[in-house]
Amino acid sequence: MRRYLRVYWALVKASFTEQTEYHTNFWFEIIASLLSLATGLLFFHFVYRYVDNIAGWNVFEVYFLIGTNALINALYGMNIGSKMGDVARSVKEGTLDTILLKPVSSQFWFSAKGISLRSCFEILASLGIMAYVISHLEIHITFTKIIIYFSLTLCSVLLKYAFSFIIVTTSFWVVRVDALRAIFMEIFRFSGYPAEIFRGATKILFTFVFPMAIIANVPARVFVKVFHPQSALYLLFLVFMFILLSNLYWHLGLRHYQSAGG
Partner 1 sequence: MSWSTFSQIFRHRRKYLSVMENSLQEIAEYRLNFVLSFAYTLIPLASFILLWLAIYASQTSTSATIGDYSLSDMITYYILATWVNELNASERYIWRPSADINTGRLSLLLLRPLDSISYYFFIDLAATLPYSLMGIGLIAGFVVLLRIDLVHPNSFWTFSLFVIAVILGYLLSFIIGILRAIPTFWLENTSGFNQLLDWVIMIFSGSLIPLSVLPPSLQHLSLWLPFQYLVFFPVNIYLGQVPLLEALQGLIIELIWLIASFVGLRLAWRYGLRRYTAIGG
Please say whether the beta carbons of 92 and 173 come within 8 A: no
47 vs 120, beta carbon nearer partner 1: 47
Q: How far is the CB of 39 from partner 1 (least distance, A)?
A: 7
**DSSP code of 113?**
-
- Which residue type is seen at 106? S
- Report the site for partner 1 in 194-223 (rule: CB under 8 A): 194, 196-198, 202
112: left (phi over 0), alpha (psi -120 to 50) or beta: beta
Which of 53/259 has CB closer to partner 1? 53
CA distance 56 to 169: 39
Q: How far is the CB of 197 from partner 1 (least distance, A)?
A: 4
31 belongs to the binding site for partner 1 (CB under 8 A): yes
Closer of 86 and 99 to partner 1 (Cβ): 86
Return d(Cα 141, Cα 135) in angstroms, integer. 11
258 exposure class (CB count in 10 Å sphere: 0-12, 13-18, 19+): exposed
**173 belongs to the binding site for partner 1 (CB under 8 A):** no
Using CA atoms, how far apart are residues 65 and 44, in angstroms rounded to an integer?
Answer: 11
Residues 32-61, interacting with partner 1 (CB under 8 A) = 32-33, 35-36, 39, 42-43, 46-47, 49-51, 53-56
- Angle, alpha carbons 178-77-188 (nearest 5°): 60
What is the closest distance, in whole angstroms, from the C-beta atom of residue 211 to partner 1 in the complex? Answer: 16
Q: Is 11 in the site for partner 1 (CB under 8 A)?
A: no
CB of 51 to partner 1, least distance (A): 6
| 139: nearest Cα among 68, 231, 190 | 68
In the shown chain, the binding pattern of residues 175 to 194 toward partner 1, with x for contact by CB under 8 A and - for none, equals: -x--xx-xx--xx-xx--xx
By CB under 8 A, the count of residues binding partner 1 is 40
Query: C-beta of 140: minimal distance to partner 1 in Å?
Result: 26
Tell me if 41 sits within 8 A of 22, measured CB to CB.
no
Which of 4, 9, 27, 173 binds partner 1 (CB under 8 A)? It is 27
State the nearest-atom distance from the C-beta of 65 to partner 1, in Å. Answer: 13
Q: Which of 4, 6, 10, 25 binds partner 1 (CB under 8 A)?
A: 25
In angstroms and rounded to an integer, the radius of gyration of the C-alpha atoms of the chain is 20
- For residues 61 and 225, the answer to whether their CB atoms sit within 8 Å is yes
Least distance CB 110 / partner 1 (angstroms): 23
- To 10 degrees, the CA torsion angle through 121, 123, 128, 133? 150
For 31, the 3-state DSSP assignment is: helix
| Residue numbers at the binding site for partner 1 (CB under 8 A) | 22, 24-33, 35-36, 39, 42-43, 46-47, 49-51, 53-56, 176, 179-180, 182-183, 186-187, 189-190, 193-194, 196-198, 202
